[in-house]
Amino acid sequence: MTLNQLKMDMLKARKEKDELRMAVLSFLISAINNKEIEMRGSGEELGDEHVAQVLKKQIKNRGQSMEAYEKAGRAELVEREGAEKEVLEEIQNAYFPEQA
């Protein structure tokens, strides 16, 4: 399952002291866990398609944040969101290349 792979990637990032990748993966895993909690009442189990949906939503959110920060003249935040979006897109290309 992709969630386990993402957790392994986070451990690898922690060992390599890649702060950005570790933070993005941690946030992504939290969002996936929230999706799993949200689904508990539906009787449906979390699958890779749900992980892909959460990932796609996170990428979209980063793009919207970049636009908002750019309008506000916050270049440092645009840069940070852009870097996070790149990491998320790398993850999407690695685990869900057909949706990229």
Q: What is the pLDDT of residue 1?
A: 59
DSSP state of 40: G
Helix, strand and coil content of the chain, in percent to the nearest 5, comes to: 85, 0, 15
- CATH code: domain of residue 31: 1.10.1510.10
| pTM over the 0.85 mark | yes
Domain range holding 18?
A: 2-99
- Out of 6-20, 37-51, 82-96, least confident range: 37-51
Number of domains in the chain: 1
Cα separation of 24 and 63, whole Å?
A: 14
| Mean pLDDT computed over 69-75 | 95
Where b means 16+ CB within 10 Å and e means fewer, 43-71 reads: eeebeeebbbebbeebbeebeebbeebee
pLDDT, tens digit (0-9, with 9 covering 90-100), for 17-61: 999 999 999 999 999 999 999 988 888 888 999 999 999 999 999
In this predicted structure, the answer to whether residue 3 has a pLDDT above a threshold of 90 is no
Q: Looking at the predicted structure, is the pLDDT value of residue 99 above 70?
A: no
